[in-house]
Structure 1
Amino acid sequence: MSTPEAATTPTKAQFDTTDLALIAAFAALIAACALIPGIHVAGSVVPITLQTIGVMLAGVVLGPLRGFLAVALYLAVGFAGLPIFTDQAGGPSTFTKPSIGYLLAFPVAAALAGFLVKYVAGRKGATSALAIFACSLAGSVLVIHPAGIAGLMWRLPDGANSFEDAFNIDKVFWLGDLAKTALVAMVAAEVHRAFPRLLRKD
């Protein structure tokens, strides 16, 4: 027979107000990163932005579930019409843009990076910038870039939508991604040192 105290104890599947606030805060962080003007490299239809910093921070700081939900919330608000994507874009027309593959990959990449930090790197790894760097980079390399290339092949004009064309556009982001991943790793490691219980609930 359960006691009143046991009945009110939160389970892993339940979110409290702190969880909801963290999800909303990281969704807002991603939006803030996206609203900083991107760098349009000559010949590239997708600008270099700080968006992925917010995305990967959500995953490696909040863990797989809350990280996924934070990024999904950001996308839902943007697809609903609020201009919070790069270049102040938003709404259903975003699905027609060459960047759509990158956007749709963001929640999955955050979830993968968060999963690796929590369940592979473990408690000690969560305070290691090097371990978090590897986990975050895995999310980018295994999810964001392949999906981005697929989106480019889908949405680039006919005649310019081969794998080679899409790959040549995508490789422009590689060096910047390494720098952004290093920043994510350093910030997340410090956060987990300061708040060691942050990942336990996810």
Structure 2
Amino acid sequence: MSEQRGDIGRDLARIAIFAALIVVLGMATIPIPGGVPITAQTLGVMLAGAVLGPRRAPLAVLLVLVLAAIGLPVLAGGRGGLGVFFGPSAGYLIGWIAGALVVGLIVHGGRITWWRTALGTVVGGILVVYLFGIPVTALVLGLDLGPAALASTVFLPGDLLKAGAATALTLALRRAYPPAFGIRTLDQAAPARVA
């Protein structure tokens, strides 16, 4: 029973750490016309999916969105409140949940490799997020889908760099600290001996 509580506690701590990482990565922004700023928060979403996997990563993103909904300044440029869920970036925010899930499914769908991690971050962290974000931006701004999709290409170079960074960071963390992925080392798995 206490081991199960310990696992839940570790999971909650990992979820909170990645939620905090997503918040911190949103502090520096580059405003662009159209109301959807360029931030590094999608890097946090990609890393959450790649490290936490498909069950825990969406919870880290959901925690950030709940904190934003209650008014805490946790989104790009210190934004928060229910209004952000009705603005041009609302679809991207909701897309983070699905994106983190897809990244986790792809990366953790087998042995964690560089190609699986790169594929997961691009498909989940970019494509899925755009599939949610672009239509909502078009709706809120009163644009046709084509021009909204074309305008979103301004994010693509940065998002591809973030996918590369997420891949490199994930693989480095996997080698350096497997417990971040929920993998118990032999020292942790073995009960302590009393001399």
TM-score range, shorter chain: 0.7 to 0.9
CA displacement 1:62-82 (0-9 Å, x = unmatched): 111111111111111111110
Q: Is the 8 A contact 1:148 1:170 kept in 2?
A: no
Please state how far the C-alpha of 1:178 moved relative to its aligned partner: 0.6
Structure 2 residue 53 is the aligned partner of structure 1 residue 53: no
Q: Which residue of 2 aligns with 1:35?
A: 27
1:188 aligned partner, one-letter code: T
CA displacement 1:150-196 (0-9 Å, x = unmatched): 1112211x3xx111221122111111111010000000011112234
TM-score, reference length from structure 2: 0.86
Q: Counterparts in 2 of 1:140-179, with a 5 A limit?
A: 140-156=125-141, 158=142, 161-179=143-161
Q: Counterparts in 2 of 1:61-72, with a 5 A limit?
A: 61-72=51-62
1:177 aligned partner, one-letter code: D
Measure the CA separation in 2 of the matches of 1:8 and 1:35: 38
Q: Counterparts in 2 of 1:1-202, with a 5 A limit?
A: 10=4, 15-36=7-28, 38-41=29-32, 43-119=33-109, 122-123=110-111, 126=112, 128-156=113-141, 158=142, 161-196=143-178, 198-199=181-182
Q: How many residues align?
A: 183
**Please, which runs of 5 or more residues in structure 2 have no aligned partner?**
185-195
Q: Is the 8 A contact 2:19 2:63 kept in 1?
A: yes
CA RMSD of aligned residues (A): 2.0
TM-score, reference length from structure 1: 0.83
Kindly, what percent of the aligned residue pairs are identical? 36
Q: Is the 8 A contact 2:99 2:124 kept in 1?
A: yes
